[in-house]
A = this chain, B = another copy of it.
Amino acid sequence: MSLKNTLQSPYSQWMEDDAPESDVVISSRARLARSLAGYPFPHRLSPEQAEQVIQAVSLAVRNAEFRTRFGDVELVRMTELSPVDRWILVEKHLISPGFLKNTGSSFEYKGLVLTPDEQLSIMVNEEDHLRIQCLFPGLQLEAAARTADEADSLLEKTLDFAFSDRIGYLTACPTNVGTGLRASVMVHLPGLVLLGQVKEVLTTVSRLGLTVRGLFGEGTDAVGNLFQVSNQVTLGHRESEITGNLASVTRQVIEQERSARQQLVRQMPVVMRDRVGRALGILKHAHTLGVEEAMRLISDVRLGVMAGLLKGPPSRVLLELMVITRPSYLVRVSGRELSPPEWDELRATLVRELVNAHSGEHPGAQDGRDTGRRPEEKKKI
């Protein structure tokens, strides 16, 4: 999948639903912060230096060994992408929201390397010169960290990373010094939210040295009952400790969420069936949908499918829906800026088509209107 495909499809490989523990864990991410020796950190780079960093990484990913492992990748400058396309990358969790804002160097010197399978992305001149990120479906922290390490090693054949024998890799922010590794998982906790236990569980998680954030990272809300859990400290810990600790805490959260779902199904089967059924019914038939309502309904349907209450669309389609409902994807589909009511209408149309295409019900069959497009066609672009 080329970058163009990445931008046109709401689907990403990290949405696959046959991954380990994917009933609760949506995705696992490992991110390494790396700095080039001899250069100031991005926010202090001169334009010439920033350009040199871009060139150095661009060259490094064209290295034969790197290409053998990760495919024919190219560095794309963010200025080559439209504002909408940049936000789509954020909404697909392939770059950080901060990358489009004020972190790191000025915008002209920010670049992105993305592998065709979207598993590996490298942000250049974000807060650090390089942010090497691997994103895997389900609970696969070790695989993600291992892949990030591979990329790191292959890049190091060309690039000279700033490293101190005493404290490890040097990074712009002290919290990343050491391994430079931030590991995180995105978990779906509708059961704990419904039982009113999520705050308690996540407070415990925080006490274990982990950070809990909303869907799009720091300072964002946990829409759709999705939470990101990540390690806080990198200094003084080995990589395997970091991923191992996070994986171990995540396994506890998984058990608590599963137990919450079982309790809900056991104690109030009709209420639960009703809740998730209505959510599916509305997604299939609404003609105007706000983003928050859409995320709530998608979360309910995912809970229903995972808890065996509902034969709805598979999880990967539901995760695609979560991308589809975001503003940038809607703007891309429509090809122009939209008013809020238009957004809500287009969102409902796209959601209806995709859900009906995956529910054995013809999208045009129930409503007096058909856009003439098949969601399946869009996906195959």
B-contacting residues of A (Cβ < 8 Å)? 270-271, 273-274, 277-278, 280-288, 308-312, 341, 345, 348, 359-362, 365-369
Contacts and interface: CB of A to CB of B under 8 A. Distances in A.
Question: Counting chain B CB atoms within 10 Å of each CB, which of A274, A312, A348 scores highest?
Answer: A274
Given A274-B287, A341-B270, A359 B366 contact: yes
B282 A278 contact: yes
Nearest to A271: B288
Contacts of A311: 365-368
Contacts of A270: 287-288, 341, 345
A367 B368 CA distance: 25
Contact of A277 (B286, B359, B361, B365): B286
Contacts of A277: 285-287, 366-367
B273 A280 contact: no
18 contacts: A270-B341, A273-B368, A273-B369, A274-B288, A277-B287, A278-B286, A280-B285, A281-B283, A282-B282, A284-B285, A308-B368, A309-B368, A310-B366, A312-B366, A359-B365, A360-B362, A360-B365, A361-B361
A361 to B, nearest CB: 5
Contact of A286 (B281, B283, B360): B281
Contact of A348 (B274, B287, B308): B274
Contacts of A271: 288
Question: Counting chain B CB atoms within 10 Å of each CB, which of A278, A309, A312, A345 scores highest?
Answer: A278
What 5 A-B pairs have minimum CB-CB distances, sorted nearest first?
A: A281-B281, A281-B285, A274-B287, A277-B285, A273-B287
When all copies of this chain in the complex are counted, the total is 2
Contacts of A283: 281
A197 to B, nearest CB: 24
A360 B284 CA distance: 14
Nearest to A289: B274
Contacts of A280: 281, 285, 366
A309 B278 CA distance: 20
Given A274-B286, A274-B348, 9 more contacts: A270-B345, A271-B288, A277-B285, A277-B367, A278-B286, A280-B281, A281-B286, A282-B282, A309-B367
Contacts of A345: 270
Nearest to A312: B366
Question: Counting chain B CB atoms within 10 Å of each CB, which of A285, A361, A366 scores highest?
Answer: A285
A281 B356 CA distance: 12
Nearest to A344: B270
A273 B368 CA distance: 9
Contacts of A361: 360-361
Nearest to A359: B366
Given A288-B270, A288-B271, A310 B278 contact: no
A277 B310 CA distance: 20
Nearest to A288: B274
Nearest to A369: B273
A365 B311 CA distance: 7
Nearest to A345: B270
Contacts of A286: 274, 277-278, 281
Nearest to A356: B361
A345 B277 CA distance: 13
A355 to B, nearest CB: 10
A274 B344 CA distance: 11
Contacts of A359: 365-366
